[in-house]
């Protein structure tokens, strides 16, 4: 049996706009898109309005290539165009139009196998036979880790599938696959075509601005101490799949340490998130890394009878330690393992029963450059 890869890193805790953990929001979005549920939009906007737009775009491409690309090759041009200048509207357009399309776990599971298991190195000379044998795991290993000449691999791929499918239609699109992840998805797409899997249709939903107003950041509509109970619409582990991933919280000594970060040092751990960093600067806050605190001037300002300390806390002191347990659980509840199999709509060329068998991993951090 293949040995698991051992990777040890220090924990990096970062709270988002509404005090979820950043890495878990990314995973929650992946899980929601995998399950085709409407909380997908909530998690996407949690990243977007936290100012983590580059991270959101990266996760959307991961989701597309992991779950949707094999059955929806034409959507690639759409997502590339929309992500050039991401706005709240284009994010909703991408997500809603993915949710109506067929998907499977093929590329996701192949990436996980390669990331967590010590597989034998694959040489260039073996690739042709691997294509013939449909050895998906070894093909993925070569594409993601062992290939040193992507253009040559693309040439091999074009030659094999042109012969098998008796068409050269794919040449223009596959030549643009300069990323291993995208190339693996393209290869699995053509295997799906060979397998006569049903492809998604080129239908596109429209989205109105009024449809997404509910996800905008709450500012002064409610007192600051009520923001979390109002804004946290979903729990971070409602689907109970979070335990499948390599979480930053697991690198802490205990759940109690995370609770301490959340209750006493939440603003410090949120300070690296753009929305919170901007708020801190706006009120002349100072980030103290030694004590894991953020301090504000407490003298009255010349232009008003209040201090920066008072003004900041009146607007943004969410008081997570004073929230009801239900709200706290939505933010940092300890993950529970879900033993239910994925929906049958995720069936593809890879055995979906292996979904839980591999160790935890990080799908956003296991991609080649």
Instruction: Say what the pLDDT of residue 346 is.
Output: 57
- What pLDDT, in 10s, does the model give residues 104-125? 999 999 999 998 889 999 999 9
Strand partners, 15: 21
CB 188 within 8 Å of CB 65: no
- What pLDDT, in 10s, does the model give residues 33-64? 998 999 999 999 999 999 999 999 999 999 99
Instruction: Say what the pLDDT of residue 7 is.
Output: 39
Shortest CA distance to 348 belongs to which of 70, 143, 112? 70
Instruction: Say what the pLDDT of residue 303 is.
Output: 72
The label of the residue with tokens 């643009």 reads 176
Quote the pTM value.
Answer: 0.91
CB 105 within 8 Å of CB 67: yes
Confidence of residue 354 (pLDDT cuts 50, 70, 90): low
């Amino acid at each position: 049996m293949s040995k698991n890869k051992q990777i040890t890193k220090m924990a990096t805790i970062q709270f988002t706009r509404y005090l979820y953990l950043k890495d878990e929001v990314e995973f929650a979005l992946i899980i929601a898109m995998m399950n085709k549920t409407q909380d997908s939009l909530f998690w996407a906007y949690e990243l977007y309005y936290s100012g983590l737009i580059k991270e959101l775009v990266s996760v959307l491409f991961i989701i597309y290539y992991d779950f949707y690309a094999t059955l929806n090759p034409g959507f690639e041009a759409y997502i590339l165009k929309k992500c050039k200048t991401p706005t709240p509207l284009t994010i909703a357009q991408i997500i809603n139009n993915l949710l109506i399309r067929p998907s499977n776990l093929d590329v996701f599971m192949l990436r996980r196998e390669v990331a967590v298991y010590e597989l034998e190195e694959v040489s260039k000379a073996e690739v042709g036979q691997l294509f013939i044998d449909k050895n998906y795991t070894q093909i993925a290993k070569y594409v993601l880790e062992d290939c040193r000449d992507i253009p040559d691999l693309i040439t091999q791929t074009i030659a094999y599938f042109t012969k098998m499918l008796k068409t050269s239609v794919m040449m223009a699109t596959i030549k643009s696959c300069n990323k291993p992840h995208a190339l693996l998805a393209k290869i699995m797409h053509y295997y799906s075509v060979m397998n006569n899997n049903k492809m998604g249709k080129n239908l596109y939903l429209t989205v109105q601005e009024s449809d997404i107003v509910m996800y905008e950041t709450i500012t002064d509509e409610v007192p600051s101490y009520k923001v979390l109970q109002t804004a946290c619409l979903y729990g971070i582990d409602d689907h109970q799949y979070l335990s499948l991933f390599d979480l930053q919280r697991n690198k802490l000594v205990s759940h109690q340490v995370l609770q301490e970060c959340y209750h006493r040092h939440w603003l410090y751990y949120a300070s690296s998130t753009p929305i919170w960093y901007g708020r801190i600067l706006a009120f002349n806050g100072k980030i103290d890394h030694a004590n894991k605190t953020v301090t504000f001037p407490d003298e009255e300002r010349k232009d008003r009878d209040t201090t920066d300390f008072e003004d900041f806390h009146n607007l943004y002191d969410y008081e997570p330690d004073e929230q009801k347990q239900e709200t706290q659980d939505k933010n940092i509840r300890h993950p529970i393992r879900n033993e239910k199999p994925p929906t049958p709509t995720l069936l593809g060329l890879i055995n979906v029963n292996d979904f839980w068998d591999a160790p935890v991993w990080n799908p956003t951090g296991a991609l080649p450059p």
